[in-house]
Amino acid sequence: MKHKIHVRGIRCYAYHGCMEEEARIGGHYTVDVDIDTDFSKAAASDELSDTVDYCAVQQIVEEEMAIRSKLIEHVGQRIFSRIKVEFAGVTRLQVEIHKLCPPINGDTQEVSVVLEG
């Protein structure tokens, strides 16, 4: 049996980007985290300690998004690495960061990066 935990649409206001204006003004982001794990023990025990705590996942995302980076690729790697280290039962992980209304030439809703492994 496959077990998945999805924490999607984590909204953050952060100051990532290569332009000085992005460091001053900031912008809106959403982050999606998809985790494959075995939570059969938690399903039987009803104990949070037997699964991946999605509140802790959100906290990791918020903490890493609060650290300014020029590239969302860099932020994504930090989020990915922390989740893999802090939750031993993760067998597959996907982190997607969406930068909403990016300051590029043209009318673009978002850009995103995906890290998976």
The phi, psi pair for 53, rounded to 5°, reads: -75, 110
Query: How confident is the model at residue 1, as a pLDDT?
Result: 82
What's the distance, CA 111 to chain centroid? 14
C-alpha distances in Å from residue 59, one per residue of 9, 38, 63, 110: 13, 21, 6, 23
As a whole number, mean pLDDT of residues 68-87 equals: 97
Mean pLDDT taken over the chain: 96
Among 8-12, 40-44, 83-87, 101-105, the least confident range: 101-105
SS3 of the chain:
CCCEEEEEEEEEEECCCCCHHHHHHCEEEEEEEEEEECCHHHHHHCCHHHCCCHHHHHHHHHHHHCCCCCCHHHHHHHHHHHHHHHCCCEEEEEEEEEEECCCCCCCCCEEEEEEEC
Q: How many CB atoms lie within 10 A of CB 86?
A: 14
Note whether 31 and 6 are within 8 A (CB). no
Mean pLDDT confidence for 6-14 = 98
The pLDDT assigned to 35 comes to 98
Structural domains in the chain?
Answer: 4-116 (3.30.1130.10)
The per-residue pLDDT for range 39-74, each reduced to its tens digit, is 999 999 999 999 999 999 999 999 999 999 999 999
